[in-house]
Chains A and B, each alone.
Chain A
């Protein structure tokens, strides 16, 4: 069975916890059959369990708490289509459980805090996505997520973010300069909503020259820094959709941004202005958003770009695997 695998495509998904990684992974499984996807949570490569980290004062963000040698070795084995025996980090007990057997599928996703930290792992990845959440939105999302828990206060949320910040800045955040696509979640430039919650501006940065990747753009690729303000009856009147080029950590890049909220029903109109979406049929992007309006971010650029990144990854996957398919047919 393993020998039939022509080529395992490895994708790395990075970012802090609560940044939208798992929603993105759900959107990927809407695109691909779940039989095709194996997801590896990189927390499984923790060397120190929760108790040991607390005793030594080393957070999970710290590379010292993680076994990159084993991660690199097993990522290489998976890419070669080999079965591995992977440790399990148990998030409930905080212990390292006995290993499990992982048989690779055509797509293997490495998701977690450090997918691009180790050069050996980084170089194996066929596509690298990083979720870059700004502090303002991080606080708002964590409040939404954690304040539902009884007794969890605003001060606790801030304290937790502040305590983890030094390690986050030192070890996690710098990885974004190695990513192919970065989804930035920023506070909006638009006026705040009536209830005081912040509107999100999502910005999808795509580095030039990613293999098998044609950058999406609006209107005309040659016209940079162009914005479109559509007027939809049920959406934010200030909704702004932009395209432009800039430098991202010294690498030429282009970006798409959506500032403001829109009714999911308006996503076909937004999609219509986009070129190079890698859709198999027109309307696919919008239909994927409308399929799950219950996912967080379905009303703003967060969900829209998560789906777009998924479509772009599918194009990469098809480009990498189709020669193998042609070979078996011949």
Chain B
């Protein structure tokens, strides 16, 4: 379900290194390829901060908000 960012970053990085070796490290293509790496890394770090892993109680209560251990009355 969730994107495997570790794998995605590895792929983008390998591609960037290859493009830079072919076109030279000052080429615009090299810059664009590293920019893609940066973008994927930023997405990975945003996902990490946005959605910290839920514990089993949080998962259970999302599915069963009416269960005794999940009820919260805001009164």
Residue numbers of A with Cβ under 8 A of B are 17-18, 22, 50, 53-54, 56-61, 91-92, 94, 145-146, 149-152, 156, 159-160, 162-164, 166-167
Query: Which of B34-42, B55-63, B64-72 lies at the interface?
Result: B34-42
Asked if A50 contacts B19 (CB within 8 A), the reply is no
CA–CA, A146 to B37, complex, Å? 11
Given contacts A145-B45, A152-B9, A163-B25, contact A60 B39 (CB under 8 A): yes
Query: Across the two chains, which residue of chain B brings its CB closest to A146?
Result: B41
Asked if B42 contacts A17 (CB within 8 A), the reply is yes
**For chain B, what secondary structure do more than half of its interface residues adopt (helix, strand, loop), or is it mixed?**
helix
B36 → chain A, closest Cβ, in Å? 5
A47 → chain B, closest Cβ, in Å? 14
| B residues in contact with A60, CB < 8 Å | 35, 39
Residue numbers of B with Cβ under 8 A of A are 3, 5-6, 8-10, 13, 15-16, 19-20, 23, 25, 27-46, 49
B54 → chain A, closest Cβ, in Å? 17
Asked if B32 contacts A53 (CB within 8 A), the reply is yes
CA–CA, A141 to B10, complex, Å? 20
| A residues in contact with B23, CB < 8 Å | 57
Asked if B6 contacts A22 (CB within 8 A), the reply is no
Asked if A91 contacts B32 (CB within 8 A), the reply is no
Asked if A57 contacts B27 (CB within 8 A), the reply is yes
Most central of A22, A91, A145, A167 by chain B CB within 10 Å: A91
Asked if A17 contacts B9 (CB within 8 A), the reply is no
Asked if B35 contacts A164 (CB within 8 A), the reply is yes
Asked if B34 contacts A91 (CB within 8 A), the reply is no
Asked if A163 contacts B30 (CB within 8 A), the reply is yes
| A residues in contact with B39, CB < 8 Å | 17, 50, 60, 91, 94
Asked if B36 contacts A159 (CB within 8 A), the reply is no
Asked if B43 contacts A92 (CB within 8 A), the reply is yes
Q: Give 18 pairs: A residue, B residue, CB < 8 Å, sorted on A.
A: A17-B38, A18-B38, A53-B35, A54-B19, A57-B23, A57-B28, A60-B39, A91-B39, A145-B45, A149-B9, A149-B41, A152-B9, A152-B13, A160-B16, A163-B30, A163-B33, A164-B34, A167-B31
